[in-house]
Amino acid sequence: MKPWTMPLGGALMLALCQGAAAQSFDDLLAGQAEAQVKTYAQPLGDALSVVASAGAFHGARSKGIAGLDAGLKVVLSPLGAADIPAGTLLKETEASAVGLPMLVVNKGLFKGFQVGARYMSLELSKDVGKLDHMGASLRFEVNELFHVPLIMPRIGLQGDWNQLKVGESITTTTTGVDLIVSKSFLILEPYAGLSLVKGTTDLDYTYDAAGTPVNVGVSLDSDVTRLTAGLNLTPFPLLRLNAEYALTDYPTYTLGVLVNLF
């Protein structure tokens, strides 16, 4: 195992990170030309775009003006389920998963509109630094225009923005659109979604291909198509339990516990 794989693997595990002495991100990319860095790191950018944009909804219904839900979600992507090319940064970390916890809140507005926010800030380790995540979304429920009670499912259209920073060297920003369909049956609410996401991961490091200490940066572009299937369970009026599976190049599992008001 290379000396940097443990802490870099820890960075990918994010909240599950364990610190270890290691070479820096600068040392890892030193001496590589920009094209080499892009090929070497592209799977990392793809995985971070998937995780940063996950967990953005748990149903299609928009809350009313007095409606609110808030709670905690955890997104986990087991890397063993992905086809990661050999000889790339993500493969060589030997990390088993990419994980991200987040605080979430959704607030109803008016006429079928709803806003949402996601946030997390964690100190991972001395070597990796901080994890900072923030996201925002705006939803419109199509049923505001046309709805057949008891028969027609809820249909939502949503736009998302997310930013995930790991230490001082990695920043992933995503924008996406979601088509969401859900239907309530007493205490159960199954839902499904189709998401189209564009992500950009910026890598900042210090040494150029000649080993000269200059400020160097590359951007990795990612296109994510996500199919999501999820289920909400409301065992008590104010408590919602959420679980979902999303099929992408890096499949994700999301679990959530939320307080649901109106």
Assign 26 a pLDDT band (cuts: 50, 70, 90). Answer: low
Residues 54 and 244: their CA atoms lie apart, in Å, by 10
| Whole-number pLDDT of residue 3 | 42
Task: Return the higher-pLDDT residue of 162 and 124.
Answer: 162
CA dihedral 199, 204, 209, 212 (to 10 degrees): 170
| pLDDT beyond 50 at 17 | no
| pLDDT beyond 80 at 92 | no
Task: Say if CB 174 and CB 199 are below 8 A apart.
Answer: yes
**Residues 188-194, mean pLDDT to the nearest whole number:** 98
**Residues 57-66, mean pLDDT to the nearest whole number:** 95
Helices (H), the chain: 5-13, 25-29, 34-52, 89-92
**Average pLDDT of the chain?**
86
- The CATH code that applies to domain 5-261 is 2.40.160.20
Q: Running DSSP on this structure, what letter comes out for residue 80?
A: G
Burial class from Cβ neighbours inside 10 Å (0-12, 13-18, 19+) for residue 220 reads buried
Q: Which helix H or strand E contains 118, and what residues bound it?
A: strand 113-125
Residues 152 and 140: their CA atoms lie apart, in Å, by 16
CA nearest neighbour of 88 among 123, 130, 43: 43
Assign 50 a pLDDT band (cuts: 50, 70, 90). Answer: very high
Task: Say if CB 113 and CB 152 are below 8 A apart.
Answer: no
The residue ranges of every structural domain in the chain are 5-261
| Whole-number pLDDT of residue 208 | 60
Across 22-31, 144-153, 242-251, the highest mean pLDDT is recorded for 242-251
Task: Say if CB 147 and CB 139 are below 8 A apart.
Answer: no
pLDDT tens-digit readout, 205-239:
776 656 665 667 889 999 999 999 999 999 998 99
Assign 167 a pLDDT band (cuts: 50, 70, 90). Answer: confident
| Gap between the terminal Cα atoms of the chain | 52
- Return the CA Rg of the chain: 20
**Residues 227-253, mean pLDDT to the nearest whole number:** 96
